[in-house]
Structure 1
Amino acid sequence: MTSDVTANQVPACEGAPVIGPPAAQHVAELGWGMWASAAVQAAAQLGLADAVDDKPITVEELATAVGADASALTRLMRALVSFGIFRQEGPGRYSHSEASRAMRSDAPASLTDIMLTGGSWGWAMWGKLAESVRSGKCAFQETYGKDLFTYFHEDDNAAGEQCLRGYAAQSQAMNPGVVKALDLSGVATFCDVGGGHGSLVRSLLEGNPHVNAVLYDRPHAIDAALPELREGGSLGDRCELVIGDCFERVPAADVHLIRQVLHMWEDDACNTVLRNCVEAGHSGGRVVLLEQLVADPPETPWDALMDLHMLLVMGGWERTADEYRVMFERAGMEFTGVTPTGTPLRLIEGRIP
């Protein structure tokens, strides 16, 4: 027996007009897919899932709860129902489906935080893709005159916090695979460089009771670190929270982890951070990057799309395994290889001579 999720999974553009043979239709439907994405984003922004309880709700009640126009909301709900996000119980009456329950803020996967990671600025940047491809320049920097994290700090703290929550939710979903793949036997202390709220640190401490951790990031991230890392207890007593800038220094540790950070920067900036890790490490110490890899041709569309996202938002890029090998060697380390994690991330490792 299938759940209502599997029963109602439909392609984003099912029912679209047939405009040509399969190859042409495939391209057209990829293009139209932005409409479906916008509907899901709107549902997240409006908080529709949190406004529906266990009983069916009328569209008028739902519109009042989320501050929306009832007529326009009816049209949005119609689209969401067509994808299996909410059920329609009758004219203007809606209830939860498994998919809509997954969008509630109290759902385990924090799906809405993930959907809202990019905010309105993310939509705007993807609209500038052709422009960035022509120029080779970062759309965000060209638009705002500053990098993303400076923008968060100076212009939009709320967007920055939402982005960090989204990153943490995505991290949490991939952490089990990372914990299983990362060997910390014989390690006394690891440092998560640019570790955000500490989702990965928490998972690694839980999975490795013999290890201590250092969570290292800028003030806005450390100030919002997970409570179990900030407070005393089985995890907090084993975790040191340190504020700093990885371009200036990195705390000492046996293993330095850098998760989805270097792909945001050009090679010289990456070299600075890796050299700081070498200086803070010791002979035989390890530096482990958790990054996606890109190949020609790409293994998955996700790898290629993340590479474009870095072009638009940060000015960085996804790299090949060989490019990381060169990067480690330039920083004075031995490249020791790549380990899959069962997620889009790989463990890309170097060892200090």
Structure 2
Amino acid sequence: MANEVQDLPAALQMQQLLAGFEVSQALYVVAELGVATALLDGPRSVEDLAETTNADSDALGRIIRFLTPLGVFRSAEGGVEITDLGRTLADGPADSVRGLARYWMETHYSPFSGLLHTARTGETGATKVLGKPFFDWVGESSHLSELQNSAMAGGGRVARADLLDAYQLPEGQTIADIGGADGALLAELLAKAPERKGIVFDLPNVVAKATETLAAAGVDKRATVVAGDFFVDNVPAADVYVMSVVLHDWDNATATRVLKNIAGVATAGTRLVLVEMVLPEGDRPHFTKMVDLTMLALLGGRERSETEWRGLLTESGFALDRIVSGSGLLSVIEATLN
């Protein structure tokens, strides 16, 4: 498909790029209706799919036809079947991003209509379009808050890939996951370290399901759920602080404020583990550059290069020790409080 696009005249290539919003909306329909999930057991006719997913068969068939050349579906005896790529929009597969697809389209799409405003003023498109900061808007809806938790947990697992398989946390009895949402990451870390205890710390509406998550993983006896705001409340005392895909949400001044809040509670030698993307230098394509644009439009945050991470940590009183990468998008950035 990529070669076919490159063979087109420049104006047609640009038209295909401009139609990207149609692709994202069509994928959202597949995710929201559960089309990919309905195809996990094998090929089905479009009519059968439409009945199962409560959709109009003509409309659904045309959406499937549109997405088939992109590798999401393929024709099969008896109708249509899902590809390995399309399976990622289904419930069940370990690499599912269905939650992410639903969350992005229900929360990101509208704010991106304000990107021109962002380019002209520096103000986020979310604030312009929604009338308030993005997370404030999400937090007003239990539905969107649940979508966000699901998307962050599922999307985080996919982005981490094998990063944590062989990785060992720095020594320390108590792990505090700051901005830990539903506790999924802490549950994974505690399962690998049966001798340790943990704390999940996040906003009340965000951390609401953490107790259930930790209990389901069998680590609730060693974990505590604490509700709070890391901008205004003291974070819990711990030996190792973990923050997974949190600081990229904020500009440098705000991220420094969060890190200094941790530094104000911790003692010299306390370890900090950031699970974040590290922006590569140069012009080569990289998914992190797309995420950086998302941060610009929605939150005013940013992705950072190794040099930028080192500078941020130094400004906040930490020394960057090492960066560990896996096969996925995220890396572990280890630091020590001076």
User: Shared fold by TM > 0.5?
Assistant: yes
* Corresponding residue for residue 218 of structure 1: 203
* Corresponding residue for residue 206 of structure 1: 191
Q: How do 1:1-353 and structure 2 match up within 5 A? A: 10-11=1-2, 14=4, 18-20=8-10, 29-52=16-39, 54=41, 56-89=43-76, 93-154=79-140, 156-175=141-160, 177-180=162-165, 182-225=167-210, 227-230=212-215, 234-247=218-231, 248-297=233-282, 300-353=285-338
Cα distance in 2 between the residues matched to 1:208 and 1:299: 38
Cα distance in 2 between the residues matched to 1:208 and 1:98: 33
In the alignment, structure 2 segments of 5+ residues that lack a partner are: none
Superposed CA deviations along residues 167-226 of structure 1, whole A, max 9, x for unmatched, are: 100112244533246432532111110011122212211222222211111112221126
| Cα contact 1:51–1:65 (8 A) shared by 2 | yes
Pick closer, same or farther for the CA change 1:201–1:61 going to 2, 3 Å.
same
TM-score (structure 2 length as normaliser):
0.87
Superposed CA deviations along residues 114-160 of structure 1, whole A, max 9, x for unmatched, are: 22221233122334333322222210011112112211122x32122
Superposed CA deviations along residues 219-261 of structure 1, whole A, max 9, x for unmatched, are: 1222112635146x74122211111111121111111111111
| Cα contact 2:160–2:329 (8 A) shared by 1 | no
Cα distance in 2 between the residues matched to 1:209 and 1:229: 13
Cα RMSD for the two superposed structures? 2.8
Pick closer, same or farther for the CA change 1:25–1:63 going to 2, 3 Å.
closer
Task: Tell me the SS of whatever aligns to 1:192.
Answer: strand
| Post-superposition offset of 1:294 | 2.4
| Cα contact 1:46–1:66 (8 A) shared by 2 | yes
In the alignment, structure 1 segments of 5+ residues that lack a partner are: 1-9
* Corresponding residue for residue 7 of structure 1: none
Cα distance in 1 between the residues matched to 2:331 and 2:299: 21
Cα distance in 2 between the residues matched to 1:99 and 1:151: 32
TM-score (structure 1 length as normaliser):
0.84
| Post-superposition offset of 1:301 | 2.5
Pick closer, same or farther for the CA change 1:205–1:84 going to 2, 3 Å.
same
Q: How many residues align?
A: 337
Task: Tell me the SS of whatever aligns to 1:116.
Answer: helix
Cα distance in 1 between the residues matched to 2:48 and 2:143: 28
* Corresponding residue for residue 5 of structure 1: none
Cα distance in 2 between the residues matched to 1:346 and 1:102: 22
| Post-superposition offset of 1:31 | 3.7
| Post-superposition offset of 1:263 | 1.4
Query: What amino acid is aligned across from residue 240 of structure 1 in structure 2?
Result: T
Pick closer, same or farther for the CA change 1:256–1:55 going to 2, 3 Å.
closer
Q: Percent identity?
A: 27
Cα distance in 2 between the residues matched to 1:287 and 1:55: 46
Pick closer, same or farther for the CA change 1:135–1:200 going to 2, 3 Å.
same
Pick closer, same or farther for the CA change 1:285–1:300 going to 2, 3 Å.
farther
Task: Tell me the SS of whatever aligns to 1:40.
Answer: helix
